[in-house]
Amino acid sequence: MNMRTADIAIVGGGVGGLALALHLHQRGVACEVFEAVAEVRELGVGITLLPHAMRELAALGLQAAIEAAGIENYDSAFFNRHGQFIYSELRGRHAGYPVPEIGIHRGKLHKILFDAAVQRLGADRIHTGHRFAGVTHSEEAVTIAFNDPHGQALPPVRSRVLVAADGVNSAVRRIFYPDEKMVFTGINTWRGVTRFAPILTGKTYMRIGSIETGKMVIYPIVDQVDGQGHQLVNWMAEIRMEGLTQNDWNRQGRVEDVLPLFKDWNFDWLNVPELIANAESILEYPMVDKDPIPQWTFGRVTLLGDAAHPMYPRGSNGSAQALVDARTLADELAATPSGDDLAHALYRYEAVRLPLTSKVVLTNRSTPPDFINIKVDELTQG
């Protein structure tokens, strides 16, 4: 079987992997992306791109495309579980940042990154249907094994560097940490998207209730979806459930499991049961992360994004941290002097990013973004 060669091989074509490819191309560093799925489709639910994430995407020339595909958040508003207003604050450009805060469908964000990578790097540098199957090391290079979606071996790839951006269930990370377990909080979550009339300003990010008694996070991600003024509204329901031990990363959710928890949440400004009942799709997953690890880089292999630091989906930080990883690693690789070993750049990248992201993982565990709602519940007995 013939062997391919790639200067830098990126395993995983998600947000972090594609951003790294675009940053490297921008800096004149050759790379190729190897993604497990055979076809990139607009799947998933919503995501919020905070200003520090948008700053990274703007540096790639993608701000206009992302703004056109999503909705710019105007404000963030907090309510108790009875729908009573607690507090609000302006967001993004409205709060003085140079870039906006955007709510967008995750699938649309992924498609923008994927299309940009194909256009700029060339279709022959973006490989779909390549599932990572193993890696062997030598002093000069790594040799990466791939299978197609049917399990058949594909030609191996020889590369000077392997960057694993293959997500929370990273097959590459498992080689170095084979006995690692997810850390489960006892909080279950459901995420859905619903065609719905604009809520409040039509550009508001809403947090209602708290995880102890039931919490909803709601924000619009697509405007004017049907010519009748409706938006595509993303929502996430969270609640602490004693005795819950499931540890699946995600699975198809059921309306009948989540709706009863919020059946009385019919406010004069929002009918939450209607929002849930009319969801186009629902995903259910426990809130999990992994303990920070002491090392990301092993010779010519390093980890990036969720493969390096999976974290609770709080504060919209997962994708943002992957984007910062991508720019940092690209800078280190591009700064490597001619003739020097690219592997040294991996350790420099790790030295910068590992301690910072470890703090984010632990902070996300200890300081939920709805602490205001929790405190109000405590002071008012719900």
CATH for 12: 3.50.50.60
CA distance 338 to 255: 57
Q: Both 211 and 240 in a single domain?
A: yes
Residue 187 scores a pLDDT above 90: no
Reported as type and span, the H/E element at residue 23 is helix 15-26
**Number of domains making up the chain:** 2
- Token readout for 308 is 């390096």
Per-residue pLDDT, 369 = 60
Tell me, yes or no, whether 66 lies in a domain.
no
Query: 313 or 204, which is more confident?
Result: 204
Average pLDDT of 332-360? 92
Cβ neighbours of residue 371 closer than 8 Å, sequence gap 6 or more: none
Residue 243 scores a pLDDT above 70: no
Residue 155 scores a pLDDT above 70: yes
Above pLDDT 70, what percent of the chain? 92
In 267-353 the beta strands, taken as DSSP E runs, fall at 281-289, 301-303
Query: 380 or 9, which is more confident?
Result: 9
Per-residue pLDDT, 380 = 66
Residue 320 CA from chain centroid, whole number: 7
CA distance 86 to 360: 26
pLDDT band at 378 (very low <50, low <70, confident <90, very high): low
Tell me, yes or no, whether 60 lies in a domain.
no
- What is the layout of strands, in order, in the sheet containing 102-105? 46-49, 102-105, 71-72
Q: Both 229 and 254 in a single domain?
A: yes
Per-residue pLDDT, 363 = 85
Per-residue pLDDT, 318 = 85
Q: What is the pLDDT of residues 199-208, one digit of tens each?
A: 999 999 999 9
Q: What is the pLDDT of residues 277-293, one digit of tens each?
A: 999 989 888 887 888 99
Per-residue pLDDT, 120 = 98
Q: Are residues 42 and 331 in contact, defined by beta-carbon separation less than 8 angstroms?
A: no
Residue 76 scores a pLDDT above 70: yes
Q: Both 218 and 358 in a single domain?
A: no
Q: Across-strand partners of 142?
A: 137, 159
Q: Both 295 and 148 in a single domain?
A: yes
- Token readout for 159 is 């590369």
- Structural domain boundaries enclosing 148: 4-47+103-181+290-366
Q: Both 39 and 135 in a single domain?
A: yes
Count other C-beta atoms under 10 Å from residue 74's C-beta. Answer: 21
Per-residue pLDDT, 285 = 82
pLDDT band at 167 (very low <50, low <70, confident <90, very high): very high
The radius of gyration of the chain's CA atoms, rounded to the nearest angstrom, is 21
- Token readout for 19 is 């951003």
Q: Both 149 and 266 in a single domain?
A: no
Average pLDDT of 20-31? 98
Per-residue pLDDT, 264 = 96
Residue 350 scores a pLDDT above 80: yes
CA distance 172 to 130: 14
Q: Both 297 and 335 in a single domain?
A: yes
Per-residue pLDDT, 130 = 97
Tell me, yes or no, whether 259 lies in a domain.
yes
Tell me, yes or no, whether 327 lies in a domain.
yes
What type of residue is 238?
Answer: E
Average pLDDT of 39-45? 79
Q: Both 297 and 354 in a single domain?
A: yes
Tell me, yes or no, whether 82 lies in a domain.
no
pTM: 0.93
Tell me, yes or no, whether 77 lies in a domain.
no
Q: Both 28 and 177 in a single domain?
A: yes
Tell me, yes or no, whether 344 lies in a domain.
yes
Query: 243 or 251, which is more confident?
Result: 251
Q: Both 217 and 346 in a single domain?
A: no
Average pLDDT of 103-124? 97
What is the overall mean pLDDT for the chain? 91
Q: Residue 249's closest CA among 340, 333, 318, 197?
A: 318
Q: Tell me which residue has tokens 């921008």.
A: 26
Q: Both 215 and 234 in a single domain?
A: yes
